[in-house]
Chain A
Amino acid sequence: MKSLEELKAIREKMQGQVGVRSENENGTRVVVGMATCGIASGARPVLNELVKQVNDRKLSDVSVTQTGCIGLCQYEPIVEVYKPGEEKVTYVKMTADKAVEVLEKHVLGGTVVEDYTLNKIKL
């Protein structure tokens, strides 16, 4: 049975480093809709991939959070990107792969991936 013992080593390794993800007001927030509609449409792999990418890439100024139903259930999974000083961008019908693309091009690269945005589809 795998025990919690290994966590102690991780703790020691992190000692002295900034380990806590502080709610950085100047950082980018990536928000995934995780209500019934989002979950049913595949939000779980999108959320988990974003968490994984942000951590693997050690992006300390990007936080991944969740929210409830955004009210556009037919377009779930929805990911909203809030960059400081910029207007919110809503991405619809996301997949884990599309989310990585948005992370690379928009969150890191600064270019909105227009093809996946809510504005692009006809309401």
Chain B
Amino acid sequence: MLPEISLNVLDIAQNSIKAGATLVEIEVARKPEEKRLMLSITDNGCGMDEEQLEHVIDPFFTSRSTRKIGLGVPFLKQAAEASGGDFSITSEKDVGTQVKATFHTDHIDCMPLGDINSTIFSLVTINEQLDFTYTYKVNDRQFTLDTREIREILGDVSFQNPDVTSFLRAYLSENQLEVEQQ
């Protein structure tokens, strides 16, 4: 098990990257009164055929050839279901894949969201050739980070430039706080 929902996000997004996605869209939506946290990760990677999709929730299935175990997707499914929530994965060959999970945040077995900003920061800075959108919602308040917009402003300045990395960290944390203030 991964101890935080945000680490599952990082892990599932790695699947998207491996699937050759050029755009990965991540959304975390919280509804505190309803005690729900919804997560979705959508990519435009190579997708899976029906047979692969059927097996993807099986821990003893993996696209890897080095070993016969793949735990990423089963971990997220288990984490969501342990909280009384739901998990779904849909995919279409050559179109992309969408993973969705709902967590019941008042359940004792619901793990914390954790440091989601660190996850997004890792993904964005280390995969500079790919685009990401990240939306964080609390009820109807939200903010989005879209690397396409950032790229347009920055031109050829790297996301790993120290000024840019400090900006990204501040952008994520300040906007998260603001969205959380009701």
Contacts and interface: CB of A to CB of B under 8 A. Distances in A.
B175 A7 contact: no
Interface in A1-39: 1-2, 4, 6-8, 10-11, 13-14, 19-21, 34-36, 39
A100 interface: no
Interface stretch (B33-41, B83-91, B92-100, B154-162): B154-162
A21 to B, nearest CB: 5
B126 A68 contact: no
Interface in A57-87: 58, 64-66, 68-69, 71
A44 interface: yes
Contacts of A48: 118, 121-122
A21 B125 CA distance: 12
Contacts of A45: 118
Interface residues of A, number: 34
Given A4-B149, A7-B153, A7-B164, A21 B175 contact: no
B14 A2 contact: no
Contacts of B162: 55-56, 58
Contacts of A1: 143, 175, 178
A55 B7 CA distance: 24
23 contacts: A1-B143, A2-B171, A2-B174, A4-B153, A4-B171, A7-B164, A7-B167, A8-B153, A10-B163, A10-B164, A10-B167, A20-B156, A34-B14, A36-B2, A36-B71, A39-B14, A40-B7, A44-B10, A44-B119, A45-B118, A48-B122, A66-B126, A68-B18
A83 B97 CA distance: 37
Nearest to A10: B163
A39 B171 contact: no
Interface of B: 1-3, 7, 10-11, 14, 18, 64, 66-67, 70-72, 75, 115, 118-119, 121-122, 125-127, 143, 149-150, 153-158, 160-165, 167, 170-171, 174-175, 178
Interface centre among A19, A64, A66 (most CB of B within 10 A): A19
A10 B125 contact: no
A69 B64 contact: yes
A47 interface: yes
Interface of A: 1-2, 4, 6-8, 10-11, 13-14, 19-21, 34-36, 39-40, 44-45, 47-48, 51-52, 54-56, 58, 64-66, 68-69, 71
Contacts of B3: 40
Contacts of B7: 39-40, 44
Nearest to A54: B160
Given A44-B119, A51-B160, A10 B171 contact: no
